[in-house]
Amino acid sequence: MKSKVVLLLFYIIFIFNSNLFSSDNNNTLKVGLLAPLSGPYSQIGNSLLYSLQLALEEIDDENVIIVPRDSGFNNEEMVINAINELRLNGIKIIIGPTTYKEFDLAKKYSDLIFISPSNISPEFSKNIISIGISLESQLIALSNFIKKQKKKKTIIMYPENNYAEMVEKKLESLNLKNVKKFKYSSNPEILTGEIET
């Protein structure tokens, strides 16, 4: 799934590449990557970087160059510095930010295009294209499956975390019939008891 998203990113980039964002001298397209390459989510950032490098190998176009910059985690100053550095390098397209919380920062740079893999709030907004697979689309697919299979007893389980409220609102908006909702703890000891219940 991740490789499909990365390839989609590159196809979008090539749409923009009709010499519009290429440097005039050598026809090279520089694409910035804004990802958490350090901190608690560095594994995600590095995974995104490696996926993009693999996609470049598959596309086999030497005229596309990825320029990665570390956005850290919940660090507004790092994000701003990274964006400004990419901008100074003549980069007009940036893959990132990875979280929707940084969208407000990105919107301030109207001369740049951001392609975000965030799946919290997929949208086209000003200069941001958010292409993540949204919870809403997954729940609609689940709802359609339940209706098609004529399921009478379904339990939808979701974790008790920062996104639980958003999941609950999306579930309510779907107005599913014959479905029980179960919010579980991420603590394995508590979870075992909850599953038994």
Give residue 4's pLDDT. Answer: 54
Give residue 67's pLDDT. Answer: 92
**Is residue 97 located within the same domain as residue 153?**
no
**Is residue 48 located within the same domain as residue 107?**
yes
pLDDT exceeds cutoff 60 at 1: no
**Is residue 87 located within the same domain as residue 37?**
yes
- What is the distance between the alpha carbons of residues 135 and 111, in angstroms, rounded to a whole number? 30
- What is the distance between the alpha carbons of residues 161 and 46, in angstroms, rounded to a whole number? 24
Give residue 132's pLDDT. Answer: 66
**Residue 3's pLDDT band (cuts 50, 70, 90):** low
Question: For the segment 142-193, what is each residue's pLDDT rounded down to a tens digit?
Answer: 778 888 888 778 888 888 887 788 788 888 877 777 778 888 887 777 777 7
CATH of the domain at 101: 3.40.50.2300
**Is residue 17 located within the same domain as residue 109?**
yes
Question: For the segment 18-59, what is each residue's pLDDT rounded down to a tens digit?
Answer: 444 444 456 788 899 988 999 888 888 888 888 888 888 888
Question: For the segment 63-89, what is each residue's pLDDT rounded down to a tens digit?
Answer: 888 899 999 888 889 989 999 999 999
**Is residue 9 located within the same domain as residue 103?**
yes
pLDDT exceeds cutoff 70 at 124: no
Q: Which residues of 175-197 are buried (b: 16+ CB within 10 A; e: fewer)?
A: ebeebeeeeeeeeeeeeeeeeee
Give residue 20's pLDDT. Answer: 46
The number of folded domains in the chain is 2
- What is the distance between the alpha carbons of residues 179 and 155, in angstroms, rounded to a whole number? 6
Residue numbers of the domain that contains 151 = 135-196
Cα angle value 120/2/53 (rounded, 5°): 120
**Is residue 124 located within the same domain as residue 139?**
no
Sort 8 into a burial class: Cβ within 10 Å, 0-12 / 13-18 / 19+: middle
Look at residues 99, 130, 161 and tell me which one is the last residue of a structural domain. 130
**Is residue 140 located within the same domain as residue 106?**
no
Give residue 81's pLDDT. Answer: 93
**Is residue 99 located within the same domain as residue 157?**
no
Q: Which residues of 46-63 are buried (b: 16+ CB within 10 A; e: fewer)?
A: eebbebbeebbeeeeeee
What is the three-class DSSP state of 153?
Answer: coil
